Structure 1
Amino acid sequence: MRLAPKVIFLVRDPDGFGPAIADALRPNPDSNFMRETSSFELSLEKYGIGDRKASGDLIEFVDPHGSPQVSILLLPNYGPPIAACAVKEVLALISSEESPNQPIIILPYVMKALKVNQELANPASSEQKVMLCGAEIQGTTDIFQSMIAETATAPSSLQIHCESLACLLQMVRVLNLPTVLIASCARDQSKRSADQELEALYEVGRFLANHMGLCFSIEGLQQKEIEKPRSVQEPWRALYG
């Protein structure tokens, strides 16, 4: 499986944010990119898991020569212990790419709730309804610096309530894979609604598209009813940062 120099990592989270971002990212009308979709499976037998595989969707934007320029990996919402094994295999695949420049990983995340405090103060965006924050998890690249310059600094208290994404944030540090987190959240958490969540989703998607040379289509998003979690998160998930 050949991946692009820019890899967007998404999960089919219970809220439907990951699939929505993957569906809405499209080739820019002014570009010559083509969108191609396929699926993949990776063995987990080395972990003693023979009845399941790490699977997912691969969405790629390729140039006229067939070379992928942006890849999207969309994984199922695995729970432990499958999540850690699946993420490790996917990251091993990314790190094995034979390229002069190591692929970079972009991790978009739509936050459900966050207290906006002085740590996130950004005068340039104080009037915006949706806040974008970013953090270089590992490595520094020109693309990362460009992204971070346009966002508030992600707070140290930010928690990722998704097992696969939490595992990824830990593993990229060990594997030394260049990774940036871009998160969005509605500023007024006292008035959360489906419309505000869609706006937060749109902002992170638009931001990604601008930096990846793509466009973010909102045609389907305005009609989309974002799926809600059916159960309360387990208390142990709060331990993951």
Structure 2
Amino acid sequence: MKVAPTVVFLFRDSEGFASAISDALRPNPSSSLRRLEDSFELSLDGYGIKDHNASGSIFHFVDAEGIYKVSLVVMQHYEPPVLACAVNEVLGKIAGDNSSLISTLYVPIILGSSQLIRESKSLKSEERKALVYGLQVGQETQIAEALRSRTEKPPPSLRIQHETSACILHLVRVLRLPTFFLIGQTGQHSHNKSTEEFEIFHTLGEILASATGLHYSKDNVTWNPTKISRDSKEPWRALYG
């Protein structure tokens, strides 16, 4: 599975977050980049899974010389235990197919307050705005260092209780893939949840654009974040620690 040195890694979800992000990231008007769409389907037979494949879409941003600059990998949604197998297979392909030049992953996610567990404390005044945590995993990169000024460092006590996110976090550590998680936290302003979620979404989009050299277009955002609660129970979450 061919990807660029810079990869934005997403999962399709019922609220359309992944689709909204992938639609909003476009080539800069002044650049020569063009956007190509591809798909992938990887067998999971090696895991003993016969009725599912690891599949999804890839949006490549390619320059005038045909060089892949940025790839947006959008996987289909899976439930555990297929989830871990599908993610492992795709991440393994990303790591294995780029042995000479390891790709850097950016993983944007938005989680509810009950899915980000930390020690209880009073929020400082500067934390009362839409909050995006930045979590670096693996090899340090210059871009990741620059992103720290635009994100909040997670407290040591922070725990992610969300199946997909915890699975990706565990596997990129195992595969030693340099990865930067952008974690937006909702639930800080319960009186205006919709506005808060869109503020976090736009912040994530702008940070991704700065990290990838793409353009974030608010005009292309179509997102309905209020269909379901992010605070639902997930019985398999203990599997990943």
Same fold, TM exceeding 0.5? yes
Q: 2:8: which partner in 1?
A: 8
- CA gap of 1:98–1:196, structure 2 versus 1, over 3 A, is closer
1:67 and 2:67 are equivalent in the alignment: yes
Give 2:227's aligned amino acid: K
Secondary structure of 2:14's match?
Answer: coil
Secondary structure of 2:18's match?
Answer: helix
Secondary structure of 1:61's match?
Answer: strand
- CA gap of 1:30–1:186, structure 2 versus 1, over 3 A, is farther
Task: Note the 1:126-141 alignment, pairs <5 A.
Answer: 126=126, 129-141=129-141
- Using the alignment, how far apart are the partners of 1:127 and 1:136 within structure 2? 20
Query: Cα offset for 1:65?
Result: 1.1
Of 46-55 and 224-233, the range deviating more from structure 2: 224-233
- Using the alignment, how far apart are the partners of 1:45 and 1:227 within structure 2? 36
Q: 2:42: which partner in 1?
A: 42
> TM-score, normalized by length of structure 2?
0.86
CA RMSD between the two structures? 2.6
- Using the alignment, how far apart are the partners of 1:230 and 1:135 within structure 2? 24
Mark the runs of 5 or more structure 1 residues left unpaired by the alignment.
none
CA deviation vs aligned residue, 1:77-117 (integer Å, no higher than 9, x gap) = 21111101100110111111245431111111112226897
* Count of matched residue positions in the alignment of Structure 1 and Structure 2: 236
Secondary structure of 2:35's match?
Answer: strand
Q: 1:228: which partner in 2?
A: 227
Secondary structure of 2:218's match?
Answer: coil
Query: Cα offset for 1:230?
Result: 7.3
- Using the alignment, how far apart are the partners of 2:78 and 2:69 within structure 1? 27
Task: Note the 1:1-241 alignment, pairs <5 A.
Answer: 1-98=1-98, 100-113=100-113, 126=126, 129-155=129-155, 156-161=157-162, 163-186=163-186, 188-221=188-221, 224-226=223-225, 228-229=227-228, 233-236=232-235, 239=238
- Using the alignment, how far apart are the partners of 1:115 and 1:91 within structure 2? 26
> TM-score, normalized by length of structure 1?
0.86
CA deviation vs aligned residue, 1:29-49 (integer Å, no higher than 9, x gap) = 111111111111001011111
- Using the alignment, how far apart are the partners of 2:154 and 2:14 within structure 1? 23
Contact in 1 for aligned 2:117/2:160 (Cα 8 Å): no
- Using the alignment, how far apart are the partners of 1:89 and 1:209 within structure 2? 27
Contact in 2 for aligned 1:14/1:227 (Cα 8 Å): no
Contact in 1 for aligned 2:95/2:103 (Cα 8 Å): yes
Work out the percentage of aligned pairs sharing the same amino acid: 37
Contact in 2 for aligned 1:111/1:184 (Cα 8 Å): yes
- Using the alignment, how far apart are the partners of 1:164 and 1:5 within structure 2? 23
Give 1:229's aligned amino acid: I
Contact in 2 for aligned 1:120/1:154 (Cα 8 Å): no
